């Protein structure tokens, strides 16, 4: 199958690994996989690693890792994108080990990060099942749907959309063109899905931003875990970019919290899964059809 199955992993450049370790485990409910002086691997499920944090002076996305089911699927895809003029280079064995997969190819995104294409993710030992330090439900929605989604900001919106569709071959899920939610900002976003159908594993929009990554989304299986995580964020005094609300396109109930790196993490529940045989691409005029308040102030407990 010459298209990615899912967003298998992300690599983030972060300046404060200690702050991220607390945020990832005690706020988001992720589990530590492995830690070194310069890296922190995070787990969401039975895989040994879904998110790799690497120490760097500038916080931003470094890699979006797209997973394929087999080596044949991967090599067929690499041949296809090369025929479209994309320089898909093979990565070395050390890169594959750091991503905890069997084989990796990579190409550059026009917005300053890297797309990697891989197969053969490493599973954690059966003696070390995923156990969230704080979640109450059945964990994160991953598996065939991948880890969630990322939204990088486009320097050139039309060029970026063309690269994702005509170059990398992602399928358009829908669009949101909203001129009312953010005063003075015309929000124009395109959403893309992979073969296994999570409503979007990738989206892009144009907005003034010093960072490429606008947000990364993690989906939980139990709506109660959205509320519990929201409470943890508020009690910790974290900056909330958007309070709890509902998106009309993917049907997710979520909130957005600022990470230690500045970009936000969307934490949500209820994403629909696309069946390409029946899916209709639509254009939505609202980013949110209720909630997602941008004027929240976190509650800081009295000292």
What band does 208 get if pLDDT is binned at 50, 70 and 90? confident
Shared domain check, 178 and 60: no
**Residue 25: pLDDT above 50?**
yes
Is the CB of residue 296 less than 8 Å from the CB of residue 240? yes
Shared domain check, 114 and 151: no
Shared domain check, 166 and 39: no
Q: Residues of the chain with pLDDT > 70: what percent?
A: 95
Quote the pLDDT of residue 297. Answer: 62
Shared domain check, 191 and 80: no
Does 300 reside within a domain? no
Residue 271 CA to residue 253 CA, distance in Å, equals 8
Sign of CA dihedral 296, 220, 7, 15: positive
The first and second tokens of residue 85, run together, are: 């003029």
Which helix (H) or strand (E) segment holds residue 41: the answer is strand 39-43
Residue 224 CA to residue 207 CA, distance in Å, equals 32
Q: Check residue 143 and report its DSSP letter.
A: G
Does 189 reside within a domain? yes
Q: What is the pTM of this model?
A: 0.95
Is the CB of residue 79 less than 8 Å from the CB of residue 67? no
Shared domain check, 98 and 173: no
Domain extent, residue 79, equals: 6-119
Q: Check residue 300 and report its DSSP letter.
A: P
What is the domain-level CATH number for residue 230?
Answer: 3.10.180.10
Residue 33 CA to residue 296 CA, distance in Å, equals 33
Cα distance from N-terminal residue to C-terminal residue, the chain: 57
Shared domain check, 165 and 265: yes
Shared domain check, 162 and 42: no
> For residue range 211-267, what is the model confidence (pLDDT) as tens digits?
999 999 999 999 999 999 999 999 999 999 999 999 999 999 999 999 999 999 999
Shared domain check, 283 and 150: yes
What band does 72 get if pLDDT is binned at 50, 70 and 90? very high
Shared domain check, 72 and 172: no
Q: What is the mean pLDDT of the chain?
A: 95
Q: Residues of the chain with pLDDT > 90: what percent?
A: 91
- Could you give the 3-state DSSP secondary structure of residue 214? strand
Any idea what the Cα angle at residue 219 is, between residues 214 and 222, rounded to 5°? Answer: 145
Radius of gyration of the chain (CA): 18
Select from 56, 191, 193, 67 the least CA-distant residue to 113: 56
């Amino acid at each position: 199958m010459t298209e990615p199955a899912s967003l298998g992993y992300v690599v983030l450049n972060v300046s404060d690994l200690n702050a991220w370790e607390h945020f990832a485990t005690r706020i988001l409910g992720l589990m530590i996989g492995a830690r070194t002086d310069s890296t922190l691997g995070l787990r969401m499920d039975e895989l040994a690693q879904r998110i790799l944090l690497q120490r760097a002076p500038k916080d931003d996305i470094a890699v979006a890792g797209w997973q394929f089911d087999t080596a044949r699927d991967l090599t067929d895809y690499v041949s296809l994108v090369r025929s479209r003029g994309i320089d898909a280079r093979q990565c070395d064995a050390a890169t594959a080990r750091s991503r905890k997969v069997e084989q990796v190819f990579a190409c550059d995104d026009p917005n300053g990060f890297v797309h990697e294409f891989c197969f053969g993710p490493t599973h954690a030992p059966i003696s070390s099942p995923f156990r969230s330090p704080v979640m109450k439900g059945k964990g994160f929605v991953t598996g065939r749907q991948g880890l969630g989604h990322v939204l990088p900001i486009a320097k050139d919106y039309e060029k970026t959309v063309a690269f994702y569709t005509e170059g990398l071959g992602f399928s358009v899920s829908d669009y949101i063109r909203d001129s009312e939610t953010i005063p003075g900002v015309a929000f124009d976003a395109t959403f893309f899905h992979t073969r296994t159908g999570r409503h979007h594993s990738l989206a892009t929009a144009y907005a003034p931003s010093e960072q490429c990554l606008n947000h990364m989304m993690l989906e939980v299986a139990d709506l109660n875990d959205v509320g519990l995580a929201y409470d943890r964020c508020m009690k910790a005094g974290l900056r909330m970019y958007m309070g709890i609300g509902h998106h009309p396109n993917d049907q997710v109930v979520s909130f957005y919290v600022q990470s230690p790196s500045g970009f936000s993490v969307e934490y949500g529940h209820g994403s629909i899964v696309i069946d390409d045989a029946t899916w209709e691409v639509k254009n939505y005029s609202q980013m949110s059809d209720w909630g997602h308040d941008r004027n929240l102030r976190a509650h800081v407990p009295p000292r």
